[in-house]
Structure 1
Amino acid sequence: MAQTFNITDDEVGKKVIAADGDEIGLVTEVRHGTAYVDADPSLTDKLMSKLGWEHTDDDAYPLQKSEIETITDDEIRLRRM
């Protein structure tokens, strides 16, 4: 059974780390329980596509709870895809 996460304003400022250990961005905002990630400029289109992220005007992408493996005090680590 997958763990469910309660995403709060406490997540703002946390690094978002891919399953392979690469840092892919930073949580810049939480809206209605969804973390929005400002993607690292070096993030490839392939990874963005894999996460289902499309370009938005503010360059912050919604992070689906189903993509999250763990949340610590410092980071959000994503599941292996």
Structure 2
Amino acid sequence: MTANFTENDEGKPVVMGDEKVGMIKRVEHGTAHVDPDPGITDKIKSTLDWGDHDEDTYPLEEGRVETITDDEVRLQSRM
């Protein structure tokens, strides 16, 4: 899916499988920046390439997005 993020997506939860991995904090130039949920595992962070960053938010690669609905952004469970 080609993800077309807009400011309307800010505040939506980001979900992978049955687990909430974060929330879209802001959208800049079509890229969603996710504030990760404090409880997500290192395995999920590694899968999303978020393990080595020392930032508050992480850019979401649009190739990882399965669907965007009015209520959430769902990521592909397998890459």
Length-normalised TM-score, structure 2: 0.90
Paired with 1:47 and 1:7, the residues of 2 have a C-alpha distance of 22
Paired with 1:43 and 1:23, the residues of 2 have a C-alpha distance of 8
- Does residue 1:62 correspond to 2:59, yes or no? yes
Paired with 1:48 and 1:70, the residues of 2 have a C-alpha distance of 20
- Structure 1 runs of 4+ aligned residues shifted over 3 Å read none
Paired with 2:47 and 2:76, the residues of 1 have a C-alpha distance of 12
Shift of 1:11: 0.6
Q: Secondary structure at the match of 1:47?
A: helix
Paired with 1:73 and 1:56, the residues of 2 have a C-alpha distance of 30
Shift of 1:26: 0.5
Q: Structure 1: which 5+ residue stretches go unaligned?
A: none
Counterpart of 2:37 in structure 1 is 40
Length-normalised TM-score, structure 1: 0.88
1:13-36 Cα offsets, whole Å, 9 max, x none, are: 000000x22111100011111101
Counterpart of 1:23 (choices 20, 31, 46) is: 20
1:55-78 Cα offsets, whole Å, 9 max, x none, are: 233x10111100000000010000
Query: How many residues matched?
Result: 77
Paired with 1:31 and 1:21, the residues of 2 have a C-alpha distance of 27
Counterpart of 1:9 in structure 2 is 7
Aligned-residue CA RMSD in angstroms? Answer: 1.0
